[in-house]
Amino acid sequence: MEENYQQDFIFGVDLDGVCADFYDGIRPLAAEWLGVDLETLTKEVSYGLPEWGIDKTPGGYLDFHKFAVTQRDLFKELKPINGCPQTLRRLSKAGIRIRIITHRLYIRYFHKQATSQTIDWLDKHGIPYWDLCFMQHKTHVGANIYIEDSEKHILEYQEAGSEVIIFTNSTNKDLIGLRAESWSDVETLVLEKYNAWSNSLKISK
């Protein structure tokens, strides 16, 4: 029997900066790439990491990112953000469909490493998911509610009328919207939306 996906409550989950501690993980690699002391690289960064000066090096951020993924297994070695795996396991057990939506395939010819490292990382940390979507235009992927840290994608979700939780970090601190400071906050917000959705289904029957 074909599964009725339309009866699922779907939580669209970004990876870098939301599940995986991207900025903390990439910082020592940036110090290595630049040949500088780690403490000279601020933790208060904005999108593209201009504070670290990578954009001014030959090849810019793209060459650095290629090095991090292909030579240092970046996506496999990142640490999960505190509470993320445990929260997603609880949400999944509660009946919520976890849909991973990430834009990790923006460097040509290195898709195999990015996808395999991503799958290995999710499995290693016991993160449940039914769907794994590598998408540049994240609004093309449906969900009842999303979580995101990138200013660009947050604004795209908001402009599309989608409900998105802003997972707070230094790259999005000035944005207005529904916010979570931790995965404990995420769990509370998502369960509230899920319970309201479940109740609306019961009323409609």
Q: Which residues are catalytic?
A: 14, 16
Rg (CA), the chain: 18
3-state DSSP assignment of residue 51:
helix
DSSP character string of 144-189:
SEEEE--HHHHHHHHHTT--EEEE--TTSTT--S-EESSHHHHHHH
Alpha carbon separation from 132 to 87, 128, 173, 189 (Å, rounded):
18, 10, 27, 22
Phi, psi (degrees; rounded to nearest 5) at 18: -120, -55
Please list the alpha-helical segments (H only) found in the chain: 22-34, 60-72, 74-77, 84-93, 111-124, 151-159, 183-204
Quote the CA–CA distance of 147 and 163 in Å, as a whole number. Answer: 9
Cβ count within 10 A of residue 123 = 10
Question: What letter does residue 99 receive in the DSSP assignment?
Answer: E
